[in-house]
Amino acid sequence: MASGLRIVLLGYIVRCPVGGMAWSHLMYLLGLSELGHDVYFLEDSGDHADGCYDPVAGVNGADPTTGLAFAADAFSRLGFADRWSYYDAHQSRWHGPVGDRMCEILAGADMVINVGGANLLRPWVEAVPIRVLIDQDPVFTQVAHLTHVGKRTEALKHTAFFTFGENFGRTGCTIPDDGLPWQPTRHPIAIAQWPQQQPEPGGAFTTVMQWQSYPAVEHSERRFGTKSATLIEFLDLPGRVRGPFEIAMGGFGFPTERIAEAGWRLVNGVSVSADPWVYRRYIQSAKAEFSVAKHGYVVTRSGWFSERSACYLASGRPVVVQDTGFTTWLAPEAGVLTFSDPEQAAMAVARVNADYARHAQAARAVAVEWFDARRVLGRLIEQSFAPLPRSAEPAAPPPDRAARG
């Protein structure tokens, strides 16, 4: 696809002003801009009165003030100071430097990319010819479409569908079929924003995680849980192998004393994600990452791979991560080490400790080869403009899985 498209990215920064979440959208903007496209950011408040999250207070509400200030700073520091807007449906009011022009910008846009499906497609967005939906939360997205008519109806307003569950539709992958023609994609990493750092052989194995982003979901007599359902199995890791191990924990309800007694250091997840640059410094101060994945990603063999882990890799930090089936497409000799049980986890950490320099050097190469935003997004744009074969057009879900509303 030739460069020079006008693309509007629909994201989730104002409503969730935390560093890690911001990067997951900012890197789309950066990658698209590097490809030569005319890129703008739009966020919609949604219709729920509690859609804006204040991470410091830990509460939700309708006031976007905190998020607007956070977004303005982030966009300014990355060169997008005059290319973003926020629509507050509760006040019928536009914010941001191009808020008063966003409908005009959309009228001339070639495509919109709805990252995570976190934005409603208002009439001024629906008029854009190519409307891309990015599923960042495989399994949970499909179950939502199968159990809530409104969510599936909103999804069907898009013209192209991509999922981080790269194994969707493949043998061995059991993500429920919601009838949408999902194509595989992965998170784009703006490599230049994650410069390779000097190795930290004396540092810790760290990660940033939410104990429970939302309750587990059930569908067709199967239960799909979050990280709270997987970390417990690996709590004794610090007693098995040399660390140290540290978690920047967010969320609520996690067993602080039990985790600490097992030998893990706990730090405040909000503080390390105060803004994108604080978050980046935390990742780059680590020796390596050790992380589990959401239970739902693992049990379905989804093929999901964390964008946070890819940031560790780009920074020259090896990752020891739970296998979700991504080894069907990513299986390097070094840099990325996988595990499925506690014994394998301990062995993988020991391998990093024993040959740290090699794994650190390989990590950066893996990020460049597999996650460079220019490659990932170039492919996504090409596929978005290609007409779907008739057999791949959206279909009704199987009768026994029909949406209930």
pLDDT 10s per residue in the chain (405 long)?
A: 456 999 999 999 999 999 999 999 999 999 999 999 999 999 999 999 999 999 988 899 999 999 999 999 999 999 999 999 999 999 999 999 999 999 999 999 999 999 999 999 999 999 999 999 999 999 999 999 999 999 999 999 999 999 999 999 999 999 999 999 999 999 999 999 999 988 777 899 999 999 988 999 999 999 999 999 999 999 999 999 999 999 999 888 899 999 999 999 999 999 999 999 999 999 999 999 999 999 999 999 999 999 999 999 999 999 999 999 999 999 999 999 999 999 999 999 999 999 999 999 999 999 999 999 999 999 999 999 998 766 667 877 766 544 443
Dump pLDDT digits (tens) for 26-75: 999 999 999 999 999 999 999 999 999 999 888 999 999 999 999 999 99
Cβ neighbours of 143 (radius 10 Å): 23
Q: What is the pLDDT of residue 213?
A: 83
- Picking from 334, 368, 333, 231, the residue whose alpha carbon sits closest to that of residue 290 is 231
According to DSSP, the β-strands at 217-219 and 52-54 are unpaired
Q: What is the pLDDT of residue 402?
A: 41
DSSP string for 349-363: HHHHHHTHHHHHHHH
* Coil vs helix vs strand at 178: coil
Cβ neighbours of 2 (radius 10 Å): 7
- Picking from 227, 97, 219, 112, the residue whose alpha carbon sits closest to that of residue 158 is 112
What is the maximum alpha-carbon separation in the chain?
60
Site of tokens 């208002």: 122
Dump pLDDT digits (tens) for 333-356: 999 999 999 999 999 999 999 999
* Coil vs helix vs strand at 218: strand
Which domains can be identified in the chain, with CATH numbers? 6-188+374-394 (3.40.50), 191-371 (3.40.50.2000)
Beta strands in 297-339 (DSSP E): 319-322, 336-339
The pTM (predicted TM-score) of the whole model is 0.95
CB crowding 302-316: b at 16 or more within 10 Å, else e: bbbbbbbbbbbbbbb
CA distances from 217 to 141, 146, 213 (A): 11, 12, 12
- For the purposes of burial, counting CB atoms within 10 Å of the CB of 200, is it exposed (0-12), middle (13-18) or buried (19 or more)? middle
Rounded Cα gap, residues 242 and 206, in angstroms: 13
Asked if the peptide bond before residue 244 counts as cis, ω within 30 degrees of 0, the response is yes
- Give alpha helix (H) positions in 271-355: 276-284, 295-299, 307-314, 342-354
Cβ neighbours of 250 (radius 10 Å): 22
